[in-house]
Structure 1
Amino acid sequence: MSTTGMTSEDARDAHRLWTEWRERRHEKVSAPYGPLALTGTHWLADHPDGRLPGIPGHWAEAPGGAGVLLTATAEDGLRLDGEPRPLTGRALLGVDGTPATARVALGDRRLLVMRREGLWAVRDFDPRSPGRRAFAGIDAFDYDERWVREGRFRPYAQGTRTVTVENADGKERGLSVAGELSFTLGGETHVLRAGAEGDGSLWVVFADATSGVSSYRFRFLYPAVPDGKGRVRVDFNRALLPPCAFADHFICPFPPAGNALPVAVEAGERFALTR
């Protein structure tokens, strides 16, 4: 497997930056409202009576799909927008940004409103979740500069495409892909379908020969924004565990067709560790 021509000083800097990235990653995952805090995802369509398991109040889709209509009494103990007094009456809720900034709280818990595939849901984040208490870190392969590859991204001429993939909850959903990311491993050229973020950076869902054996069944990769010629560094040392590796209630897309590498990518995160 060839390298990317890094000098020894470049390699030391890359290793240091990777170590710092690992520390930040651990802090983010183990944060009070990080992925380990998720204890439930409740789809309103599955609860036509408006009652969600373990969550007080009445939750229903607003007329015309304009949001989620929450009806609560003081006894429910739901607080809205950080107000010290519980919500009494109705509130129209839209999509929340992050669990920490979710509009509705129940004690230390944050109830995040989300919308996927036209359906509304409420996610329950609890900093005292069993998963967060049991978390002992993220196991990862040792850093190896050989897994830093020079790649090239070629966007689709017709623009973003939607491919159907299975998700971690067993349902099939659309996954947006914007082009193809190519690179070499062991002298062979490989191509992965990649999505594009709002800032132009890439997002890849992939599997390889370690998946389900010496690492989680699939992983995510976030290469930076390609340059004007489509060139982009692909660093498998920063391959991430998907959110569903930390909590069962996340909906994670499986790799699309063609995104299973035949080689063992012994780089990046492997498993979430528990005590």
Structure 2
Amino acid sequence: MTTDAASAQQWQEWHQQRLDAVRAPYGPLSVTGTYWIAEATADGALEGVPGRWHQTADAVVLRADIMDGLMLDGEPLVGEAELAPGPQTTVRVQHGERRLELLRREGQWAVRVHDPSAPARRVFTGIRTTPYDPHWSLVGHFRPYQARREVRVENADGRERTLELGGEVVFTAPDAREHTLAVSVVGSGALWAVFADGTSGESSYRFRFLRTGAPGPDGSVRVDFNRATLPPSAFADGFLCPFPPPGNTLDTPVPVGERDVAR
């Protein structure tokens, strides 16, 4: 098997794993809403969400009675419970088949509802995706910033939030021109970019995500646009995905990767 054929096979396996994750019972298609606790009524009621929700500086207090039908850690919740996930974790409360996920952004708490019976799951038929093209699997170079930078960008829910950037990746596209993307450093040094391009809003969704592995000691990194993915906000409302930061709209079409949701 040639190198390109092996890469295409690996991409096909990755694509299938993506489809399986997206259409999973509690995948992105299951999200039916995100509800900010600061917008609850005076007694803590959130429209369409059982229980009474109140936020403190470090936690959320949830009050429920037997009629609310809530489960916490597999046990009926009657009375009061303090929910305080760590910075990289979530707390899920069960309401029948629905999962109520607690999340926090810039000091504000919200409840995100996952429902396996969500309409988006019922009408989903796949992800429109361009077949693998080896010309768009590129070698790039990562240039870290001396200090991480914070920029304010609009999010998919219409609010502005901070996006932390750790450097930029420089690469030469098939158009033979050099391009640059600002990236965040995540996990064990992997890179993540939010970008748009000449196809955005036309033959592809308005923006996409691109993830890479950790750069090598010399800063080299594989930039494979075949694995550009749709953000969760493409699958369902209720996500807070950031839009591309300044400079991350490429002035060239990127005709590969995930394009849009098929319904």
TM-score (normalizing by structure 1)? 0.92
Asked if 1:74 corresponds to 2:66, the answer is yes
Q: After the TM superposition, which residues 1-275 of structure 1 pair with which residues of structure 2 at under 5 Å, given as runs?
A: 9-49=2-42, 50-62=44-56, 65-83=57-75, 86-95=76-85, 102-157=91-146, 159-185=147-173, 186-274=175-263
Q: Distance in 1 between matches of 2:88 and 2:65?
A: 25
Q: Distance in 2 between matches of 1:248 and 1:51?
A: 21
Unaligned runs of 5+ residues in structure 2 are none
Q: Distance in 2 between matches of 1:96 and 1:125?
A: 20
Instruction: For residue 75 of structure 1, give the secondary structure of its aligned residue in structure 2.
Output: helix
Q: Distance in 2 between matches of 1:183 and 1:272?
A: 28
RMSD in angstroms over aligned alpha carbons? 1.5
Q: Distance in 1 between matches of 2:58 and 2:166?
A: 29
Query: What per-residue deviation string (whole Å, max 9, x for no partner) do you get for residues 54-103 of structure 1?
Result: 111101113xx1211000001110001012xx21100001238999x743
Q: Distance in 1 between matches of 2:86 and 2:225?
A: 31
Instruction: For residue 203 of structure 1, give the secondary structure of its aligned residue in structure 2.
Output: strand
Instruction: For residue 255 of structure 1, give the secondary structure of its aligned residue in structure 2.
Output: coil
How many corresponding residue pairs?
261
Instruction: For residue 156 of structure 1, give the secondary structure of its aligned residue in structure 2.
Output: strand
Query: What per-residue deviation string (whole Å, max 9, x for no partner) do you get for residues 192-223 of structure 1?
Result: 10000021000000000000010000000001
Instruction: For residue 135 of structure 2, give the secondary structure of its aligned residue in structure 1.
Output: helix
Q: Distance in 1 between matches of 2:77 and 2:94?
A: 10
Structure 1 residue 251: Cα displacement: 0.5
Instruction: For residue 164 of structure 2, give the secondary structure of its aligned residue in structure 1.
Output: strand
Instruction: For residue 160 of structure 1, give the secondary structure of its aligned residue in structure 2.
Output: strand
Q: Distance in 1 between matches of 2:194 and 2:156?
A: 13
Q: Distance in 2 between matches of 1:98 and 1:271?
A: 29
Determine what percentage of the aligned residue pairs are the same residue: 51
Instruction: For residue 142 of structure 1, give the secondary structure of its aligned residue in structure 2.
Output: coil
Instruction: For residue 138 of structure 2, give the secondary structure of its aligned residue in structure 1.
Output: strand
Q: Distance in 2 between matches of 1:98 and 1:33?
A: 18
The 1:177/1:214 distance shift into structure 2, 3 A limit, reads: same
| More strand per residue | 2
Paired letter, 1:165 = V
Q: Distance in 1 between matches of 2:35 and 2:211?
A: 28
The 1:136/1:98 distance shift into structure 2, 3 A limit, reads: farther
Q: Distance in 1 between matches of 2:92 and 2:120?
A: 23
Instruction: For residue 249 of structure 2, give the secondary structure of its aligned residue in structure 1.
Output: coil
Moved over 4 A (4+): 96-99
Paired letter, 1:14 = S
**Conserved in 2, the CA contact under 8 Å of 1:238 and 1:269?**
yes
TM-score (normalizing by structure 2)? 0.96
Paired letter, 2:253 = A
